[in-house]
């Protein structure tokens, strides 16, 4: 998926008349074998790439915004956010199903996301959530090799990789609210590169950019980190941003949800407002025990 993202951005910049060379960088998240939560979670897929921008080895970093920590890095800026792909999660099965409620009782569902697992348990407490990791192809193989009834993946990744040999059912966001920044790319550059900022600005979609800023502001105010069971989805229309946010207990038995709107189109303030509403509803009770251990490298959110 990371290769698809980088190649897509390279193609867009090439079409705009810019010369582009791709530098492939292996991150900690790429080589980690165990659960990401045991490694601290935050920045596992981004820190080495950000370091390459800071030391001048590359000019532009392409991130999946779902993986990019919300704490700003001095010397870097989020220069552009292209048009978002479908932000929903999707149920992938070997044979088609009509809904998540069509899965067999006691079925085994693969997911490596605490957020997805919590919402799945909320919808279907009878299902067994089986932890899985790896790229999309690896997870799809596990669907059959590990005798799973379904796996949960981002609809955007399946579409971008043109997965066609499985039954794919995008889930309504009122059943499965996506991760902060899901399906959106973030183009990050050194903050002092004004010329480069102008070059990548052509790839920016203002509505998507405003939406993900609101979502990321909410997550940052919650101090949830990339792997906490926090979900959000913002939408923009002229003069107004609407943000839906939720925090779940890992077992799916409890949740706090809110919807907030901004009439002055200030995404940062809107995210903070949504976080305050969630915290007032008790969201900290779910998040605090899951905050990464700062003694683990990369463990601070």
Gap between the Cα atoms of 228 and 247, Å rounded: 8
Catalytic residue (one of 59, 67, 137, 198): 67
Q: Which of 114, 156, 159 is nearest to 287 (CA)?
A: 114
Residue 53: beta bridge partners? Answer: none
23's tokens: 């530098």
DSSP per residue, 189-204: EETT-HHHHHHHGGG-
- 73 three-state secondary structure: coil
Gap between the Cα atoms of 260 and 221, Å rounded: 15
Gap between the Cα atoms of 119 and 15, Å rounded: 41
Dihedrals phi, psi of 291, to nearest 5 degrees:
-65, 135
Check if 67 is active-site.
yes
Residue 101: beta bridge partners? Answer: none
- State the catalytic residues: 67
């Amino acid at each position: 998926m990371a290769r698809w993202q980088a190649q897509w951005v390279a193609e867009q910049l090439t079409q705009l008349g810019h010369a582009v060379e791709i530098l492939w960088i292996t991150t900690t998240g790429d080589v980690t074998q165990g659960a990401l939560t045991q490694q601290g979670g935050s920045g596992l897929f981004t820190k080495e790439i950000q370091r390459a921008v800071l030391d001048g080895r590359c000019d532009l970093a392409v991130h999946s915004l779902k993986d990019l920590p919300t704490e700003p890095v001095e010397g870097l800026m989020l220069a552009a956010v292209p048009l978002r792909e479908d932000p929903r999660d999707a149920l992938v099965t070997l044979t088609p199903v009509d809904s998540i409620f069509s899965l067999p009782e006691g079925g085994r569902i693969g997911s490596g996301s605490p957020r997805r697992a919590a919402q799945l348990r909320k919808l279907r407490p009878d299902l067994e959530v089986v932890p899985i990791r790896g790229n999309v192809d690896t997870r799809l193989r596990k669907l059959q090799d590990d005798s799973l009834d379904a796996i949960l993946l981002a609809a955007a990744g399946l579409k971008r990789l043109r997965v066609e040999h499985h039954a794919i059912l995008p889930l309504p966001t009122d059943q499965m609210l996506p991760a902060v920044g899901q399906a959106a790319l973030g183009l990050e550059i050194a903050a002092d590169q004004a010329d480069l900022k102008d070059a990548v600005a052509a790839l920016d979609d203002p509505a998507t950019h405003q939406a993900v800023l609101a979502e990321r502001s909410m997550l940052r105010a919650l101090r949830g980190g990339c792997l906490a069971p926090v979900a959000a989805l913002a939408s923009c229309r002229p003069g107004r941003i609407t943000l839906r946010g939720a925090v779940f207990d890992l077992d799916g038995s409890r949740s706090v949800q809110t919807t907030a709107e901004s009439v002055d189109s200030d995404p940062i303030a809107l995210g903070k407002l949504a976080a305050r509403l969630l915290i007032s509803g008790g969201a900290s009770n779910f998040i605090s025990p899951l905050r990464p251990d700062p003694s683990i490298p990369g463990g601070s959110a």
